[in-house]
Amino acid sequence: MSKITLIIQREYLTRVKKKSFIIMTLVGPLLMAGLIFARVWLEMIPEVPKKIEIIDESMMFKGKLENSKNLLFFFPNNTLTNAKANFYKNDYDILVFIPENIIDSHSIQLFYKKQPGLTTQDNIKNLIQNKLEDWKLIASGIDKNKLESVKTKLNVIANKLQKTGEEEKSNNEAGIIIGFVGGLLIYLFIFLYGAQVMRGVIEEKTSRIIEVIISSVKPFELMMGKIIGIALVGLTQFLLWVMLTIAITSVVSNNFLEKKYDSTMVVEQTYKSNTPTNVEQEINKPDLGEVGEMLQNINLPVILACFIFYFLGGYLLYGSLFAAIGAAVDSEADTQQFMMPITIPLIFSFIAAQVVVTNPESPMAFWFSIIPLTSPIVMMVRLPFGVPYYEVVLSMVLLVLGFIGTTWLAAKIYRTGILMYGKKPTYKELWKWLFYKA
């Protein structure tokens, strides 16, 4: 046991002292925080409204299209031919032609100088479409106000009813986000640090350092020490990422977003005073209260504890297989033929997670969250929605047993392949290695 501890210590300290580890540990939270605030920043940047020239041959829409913060409508007395000829001589951004037979043709023409965004095109289309529908309702003698009063927006409050009669509130939106992000992180970390185990074994094997190490350490001890040491490196980096990301987002939100919000409001008020009175000027400040309300029904400590378990369990299971591949080959280029059987279950579990997140209590979700090769990702997707404790315990026990089984198989390949040179192994050769006696 002391030898495994020494190997773990060596693998851990060697990697955490590298400049690449330190740089990525510091840069990672900055990138994640940057992605979070980039969206907020973009939403706070005031958009320059598009000036739209309307040529309305039907004479149905003049004065009917209300301006908005992003769209300003103008109805000059002009023809389509003249408007197109003078389009680049004026400051209009978009030219919209509404034909006289709009009721029958149901089509309009749109001309632009620079490609407008899909949102802008949809807003123009929806405004004209809605006004056209209003005109048809009036022509048919239907009262629009009565029709609108009939429309009902239904609010569904989902509660899980326990056998004891207790009601448990749930939040599908928050569960989908937390579960999917947790599964995605496990998926990425298994690939990232599993590959590190494989590359580390290949480097030691090709440099012949392994021949010296193996003289005083059993192959199994060396493999386990390397796997656990790199797992601790990954866990350390992940925890540092979480703490630094929270710290950065807290500092930026408290000291930057408030000032940006206030300055944006000044710009919006200035713009409002210089634009028509019917232009809506609104800006939505991020509502952190809604985020807190979404999270209050989710047991975050339990999910975090399960995340750490499934992260380590999934990594140890796949890490042992990556170590076996590294021991079986002489170069990284030779690993491709053996990577597919290992990566297919991992990739499939991520694909299945995208289906499970929409129906977390289906039979498929249950079985994929129990099978060790897929449970680290699929179970993480299910946990925020509430999973019976016996299913979680069963999944964890089977994952531990799966890790023991894959470690036993990997150790058989590792002890033989670690000293094999100059020969590309085949699946048949690996099968023989499993039955070699020590």
Mean pLDDT of 152-170: 68
Higher pLDDT: 158 or 378? It is: 378
Sign for the CA dihedral angle at 377, 382, 386, 388 comes to negative
* pLDDT above 90: percentage of residues in the chain: 4
Q: Which of 64-73, 147-156, 273-282, 320-329 has the lowest mean pLDDT?
A: 273-282
| Terminal Cα-to-Cα distance of the chain (whole angstroms) | 20
* pLDDT per position as a tens digit, 257-288: 555 555 544 444 444 444 444 444 444 444 44
The DSSP bridge pattern shows strands 71-74 and 94-98 to be unpaired
Strand partners, 97: 55, 109
292 pLDDT exceeds 80? Answer: no
Tokens of 151: 């429309």
What would the mean pLDDT of 152-161 be, rounded to a whole number? 71
Nearest to 376 by CA among 350, 344, 351, 415: 350
The per-residue pLDDT for 372 is: 92
| Torsion angle, alpha carbons of 53, 55, 61, 67, to 10 | 0
Q: Where are the domains of the chain?
A: 50-146, 174-278+287-433
pLDDT of residue 45 exceeding 90? no
What Cα–Cα distance (Å) separates residue 237 from each residue in 23, 233, 377? Answer: 11, 6, 19
Other beta carbons within 10 angstroms of residue 159's beta carbon come to: 11
Confidence (pTM) = 0.65
Tell which CATH architecture fits domain 50-146.
3-Layer(aba) Sandwich (3.40)
pLDDT exceeds 90 at position 401: yes
Cα–Cα distance, 102 to 128 (Å, whole number)? 10
pLDDT digits (tens, 9 = 90+) for 63-120: 888 888 888 899 988 888 888 888 888 888 899 998 888 888 888 888 988 888 788 8
* Tens digits of residue pLDDT in 200-223: 888 777 777 776 777 777 777 888
